């Protein structure tokens, strides 16, 4: 039997952005807390035999991956398709504006045709994230790879790709920074081994 590839997919570390409290597609940058989170995660995974670190091209994920790869002494590379969903025309809108949340809630509920104003549809997000993760699995058959992506796309895509969990798994289990979901990928079959998260979003 073919040994499945194990993807440890984590949200990037805690980050800062040029303008606080608004929706943005800016890549941001790691805070000191974020660097400590990345270091702690890598140290905790030291016995897992990780062979590579892959990240989205957004700067907060790239920086998280660089910290973790240094601790693990493995290469890191950025991969197209792992980025957070684009907020499009909602750039600069306060977090409390309901429009982005309404679209995201529609995706989680199964309406993948819903589209961010001036941004992506759920179908587009799912397809590019799946392609990116499948490409990583194909490049590392039978290995264990640490992947840094983003909470929104992880929450929507990973449960939907996996055969053993509900599509809305993340609706009540919010993803913290630098705590990975473990996924087995084998012959295009996806299985969630573990899913982190809190029932209380205020703790994330």
pLDDT digits (tens, 9 = 90+) for 122-153: 999 999 999 999 999 999 999 999 999 999 99
Give 204's pLDDT tier (boundaries 50, 70, 90): very low
At residue 95, the pLDDT reads: 87
Mean pLDDT of the 32-56 span:
98
At residue 29, the pLDDT reads: 97
Give 200's pLDDT tier (boundaries 50, 70, 90): low
The pLDDT tens digits of the residues spanning 148-189 come to: 999 999 999 999 999 999 998 887 677 899 999 999 998 779
Contact 76, 55 (CB under 8 A): yes
Contact 82, 55 (CB under 8 A): yes
At residue 145, the pLDDT reads: 98
At residue 2, the pLDDT reads: 77
131 carries an active-site annotation: no
At residue 154, the pLDDT reads: 95
At residue 203, the pLDDT reads: 44
Give me the residue spans of the domains in the chain: 5-197
Q: State the catalytic residue, choosing from 47, 84, 91, 131.
A: 84
CA distance 91 to 79: 24
Question: Is a pLDDT exceeding 90 seen at residue 5?
Answer: yes
Pairing of strands 29-30, 15-16: antiparallel
Under CATH, which number does the domain 5-197 receive?
A: 3.40.50.1240
Residue 56 CB partners (closer than 8 Å, separation 6+): 12, 62, 78, 79, 81, 82, 83, 84, 148, 149, 150
Residue 91 CB partners (closer than 8 Å, separation 6+): 22, 23, 24, 25
pLDDT, mean over the chain = 93
Q: State the catalytic residue, choosing from 12, 120, 140, 150.
A: 12
76: closest CA among 134, 146, 13?
146
Map 175-197 to HEC letters.
Answer: CCECCCEEEEEECCEEEEEECCC
At residue 169, the pLDDT reads: 87
84 carries an active-site annotation: yes
């Amino acid at each position: 039997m073919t040994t499945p590839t194990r993807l440890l997919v984590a949200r990037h570390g805690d980050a800062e952005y040029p303008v606080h409290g608004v929706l943005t597609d800016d890549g941001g940058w790691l805070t000191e807390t974020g660097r400590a989170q990345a270091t702690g995660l890598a140290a905790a995974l030291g016995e897992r035999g990780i062979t590579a670190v892959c990240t989205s091209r957004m700067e907060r994920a790239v920086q998280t991956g660089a910290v973790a790869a240094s601790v693990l002494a493995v290469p890191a590379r950025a991969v197209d398709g792992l980025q957070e969903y684009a907020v499009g025309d909602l750039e600069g809108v306060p977090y409390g504006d309901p429009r982005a949340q309404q679209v995201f809630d529609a995706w989680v509920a199964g309406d993948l045709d819903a589209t961010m104003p001036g941004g992506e549809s759920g179908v587009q997000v799912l397809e590019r994230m799946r392609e990116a993760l499948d490409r990583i699995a194909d490049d590392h058959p039978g290995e264990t790879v640490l992947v840094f992506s983003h909470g929104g796309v992880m929450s929507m895509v990973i449960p939907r790709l996996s055969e053993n969990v509900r599509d809305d798994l993340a609706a009540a289990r919010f993803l913290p920074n630098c705590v990975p979901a473990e996924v087995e990928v084998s012959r295009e079959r996806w299985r969630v081994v573990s899913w982190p998260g809190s029932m209380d979003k205020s703790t994330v």
